[in-house]
Structure 1
Amino acid sequence: MKTYTKPLWSYDVQKTEQWLTNQAKAGYYLKELHRFKRGFTFEKGQPKDVTYRIAYDKIKPAILSNTMRNDGWEKVTQSGKWYVIANERPQAEVTTSTSRDAIIKRNNFIFYAFMAILIYITGATLANVALFTTATIASDGNVEVVESPLWIITYTGAALVTAFYLFMIYSVWKIKKTNKALSTENPSTYMAPYTLEKKNMTKAEEKQLKREGILIKRRKFGWMYSPDKLEKWLEQMAAEGNRLHRVNKLGTTFYFLKGEPQNIKYSADYQNLSNDSYFEIHRQAGWKEEFSSKGALQKWTIWSKEYEAGETAPALYSEQTHKLKQAKKVALSYTALFLPLVLMYIYIASLNTFYIFRNGGEWSIVNSNTIMFFICILLFGTFITKTWMYYFRLRRA
């Protein structure tokens, strides 16, 4: 028996699975998974090929279906919600596997938590820099450094925070990379990933169509805070004969091709987890993916579906309550993201304003900082307000 410790094994389950397979080829078979110790215990035996899969399930203990057991899978060990299954059959003969959705969802939770902490630490650091600048100006540049044996605590704390900050940056990068790999696994085992339909047109062809007035470009900034207004705008453009051609990667620029008026229903959908099955379900229902955001904090997809005149406009979801829950999720997500920044900027701006009035309103860099803080308060506050107005519009409807 021997035990290995791998602290960050869950950040890349595919790499860990391959490592377990390599251990089996060397004659060491997984015996036990230690969730809190982040370790794996192995038992010595004869070398052979074994395929391992790591899964995550809230239901404990995890039970394999008859289909998977008939396919040769056996559960090796479980620790908490994590469990490991193994299959000694040749990989070419294996037709089933575990779903990756639960792991991706768990990773997304960690991803968003770390992103929020990163944003807050960065914002707090910038706020402290602004306060230090204000204090330095207020004291005419006379900053006194007080010697103290407690500085070692400050330096140690700063080093720990810096190390944690770098760890979170690595975690965000690694988790995003892992989730991308998990969502595009072997199509023979999982549902084939749905890719956005390629609209084959070179940039030169687009430029020519723009010169001819056939291709038009419109910009929409911040539409994700009022997605229902974007849907109505796109539908109105289609009714006027302007068919959506494509959306740029940032989701801010929309390209339309002029043609005959059409009845097209658009739906902007927000999802924390948008795996292959999510796209496949809507595609099979006749919806077409026009845009999918690539950002870490905003998972938006714009869908479209044509319908005949006189028909009832289609709906992405059959129940209106689902749309309302989604709108509430949008409002809560952006509130959690922007509200702490608004409160922090209000506090700093109030201190700067007090300093400005105390000094008779004389212009200095403090005034410029204060103006920037008020702009940020107005901007982020507008984002929060728009999302809640979107929610209440749907609620009234």
Structure 2
Amino acid sequence: MTRWRPFWSYRIEETEQWLSEMASKGQHFTRINYLSQFEFEQGEKKKSTYLIDYASDTERLTQANWELVWQRKKWTLFTSEQATIFPSKEKAFKRFRTHFLVLVFLLSFLIPFITLPFLMMTILWGSVSYPVIWLAVIAVHGFLFGCIWVVYSYFRKKEKKYLGLPMSQRSKKAIRKMRIGWFYQPYYTKKWLNQLFEEGFELERASNLFFYFVPRSCEKISYEILYENSVNSSYYQLHQEMGWQLKHTSNTSYWNSSIWAMPYNVVEPEPKITYVFEERLQGMKRNLKMSTTIFGFLFLVNGFNFLLQLQINELFRQWNFLTVLTIINFVLSIYCVYFYFKAIQGYRLEKKMLYIEV
């Protein structure tokens, strides 16, 4: 018997559960062909646990009572009735994450090129065709953004499950304050948090836009804003074991940003995530590199759209949909330049303070 299961390599946990359910019905897995069809053979009903792994240590797993059933390139599939070791899905998740980033990158650059033929039709056919052409533009872009949203939502669901994120408690009486683009300005954000603490407000939690504060409950507190190129499921657990409280996380395993806090007494030295000079300097450089990559990408996309729309004849002789798009792209480009300048300024100040401490 064969069953078709497309995209099974992106649904590993669901596929493992499905294979166990098939085994309980007497259908035991034998192999996967190149059309993503799972082949089964009839047998006695039994309770079996299945494991799908990517780039696994086969010898170690077989010693832990896992039986190798199928293997192709880096993919392996095991079964067991009394397994003692369940390996991490980190390598499989990294593969999934890479595919997701490539897909989003391609779709993001595809949007301006899809707009180009519609712009050419506008030039050739004149203003009479505006309603029809721009309805088509909106429909195509809506479809692409819908595809990106579906893929992103599924990826985020998998990512949160993989990371197993802990978060602090929420208070209904917390005071909310807005701070736009704080994650690109770690130096100024920490300075702002310390100023509010001195005024009697302690950070309870934060989102990408809002910070929530409650009355301070300790003598002193140390804040750290971290950026990591990638994190795994043990990242949060390790910091919490050191006594740090998680106040914010971007919930992402790539380009992860997080805010940590640790209360301490006046007589104690201010705690740091790391006291090693090279590690702290490397963390600052990592922050700046991430800002450079993000703002560079956004500036490139918005700048390309801006220049493309400027080539259209009579763009600013009359107000239309293209005029609005051009102004929006110009404003977004200026926004990117401004925040990137602030990120560089903050990096230089924090680096200077680090050298003074040493």
How does the TM-score come out when normalised to structure 1? 0.71
Call closer, same or farther: CA 1:117–1:106 in 2, change over 3 Å. same
**1:225 aligned onto 2:184:** yes
Which residues of 2 match residues 309-388 of structure 1 at below 5 A?
Answer: 309=266, 311-317=268-274, 318=276, 319-324=279-284, 326-335=286-295, 337-352=297-312, 355=314, 362-365=317-320, 367-387=323-343
Aligned equivalents of 1:367, 1:168: Cα separation in 2? 26
Match for residue 243 of structure 1 among 180, 202, 210:
202
Call closer, same or farther: CA 1:76–1:161 in 2, change over 3 Å. farther
Aligned to 1:18: 17
Contact 1:349–1:370 (CA under 8 A) maintained in structure 2: yes
Alpha-carbon deviation of 1:393? 5.6
Measured on the aligned residues, the alpha-carbon RMSD in Å equals 3.9
SS of match in other structure, 1:141 = helix
Q: Tell me the alpha carbon deviations over residues 264-321 of structure 1, each in whole angstroms, 9 at most, x when there is no partner.
A: 2212223465454211100000100112235898743211112333544322245225
Aligned equivalents of 2:140, 2:328: Cα separation in 1? 31
Call closer, same or farther: CA 1:394–1:105 in 2, change over 3 Å. farther
Aligned equivalents of 2:165, 2:253: Cα separation in 1? 20
**Code of the aligned partner of 2:305:** Y
Match for residue 152 of structure 2 among 136, 160, 172:
172
When structure 1 is superposed on structure 2, of 224-233 and 110-119 the one drifting more is 110-119
Aligned to 1:195: 166
The alignment of Structure 1 onto Structure 2 pairs a total of residues equal to 343
Aligned to 2:104: 115
Call closer, same or farther: CA 1:301–1:142 in 2, change over 3 Å. closer
Match for residue 224 of structure 2 among 238, 243, 267:
267
Aligned equivalents of 2:142, 2:204: Cα separation in 1? 45
Match for residue 50 of structure 1 among 30, 41, 48:
48
Which residues of 2 match residues 141-152 of structure 1 at below 5 A?
Answer: 141=128
Call closer, same or farther: CA 1:220–1:121 in 2, change over 3 Å. same
Aligned equivalents of 1:178, 1:373: Cα separation in 2? 33
Contact 1:52–1:85 (CA under 8 A) maintained in structure 2: yes
Aligned equivalents of 1:269, 1:128: Cα separation in 2? 43
Match for residue 135 of structure 1 among 114, 123, 131:
123
Runs of 5+ unmatched residues, structure 1: 146-158, 184-192, 207-214
Call closer, same or farther: CA 1:126–1:313 in 2, change over 3 Å. farther
**Code of the aligned partner of 2:8:** W
Aligned to 2:240: 283
How does the TM-score come out when normalised to structure 2? 0.77
Aligned to 2:136: none
**1:63 aligned onto 2:58:** yes
Runs of 5+ unmatched residues, structure 2: 133-138
Contact 1:334–1:384 (CA under 8 A) maintained in structure 2: no
**1:101 aligned onto 2:90:** yes
Identity across the alignment (%): 24
Call closer, same or farther: CA 1:255–1:370 in 2, change over 3 Å. same
Alpha-carbon deviation of 1:170? 3.8
When structure 1 is superposed on structure 2, of 14-23 and 71-80 the one drifting more is 71-80
SS of match in other structure, 1:342 = helix
SS of match in other structure, 1:99 = coil
SS of match in other structure, 1:267 = strand
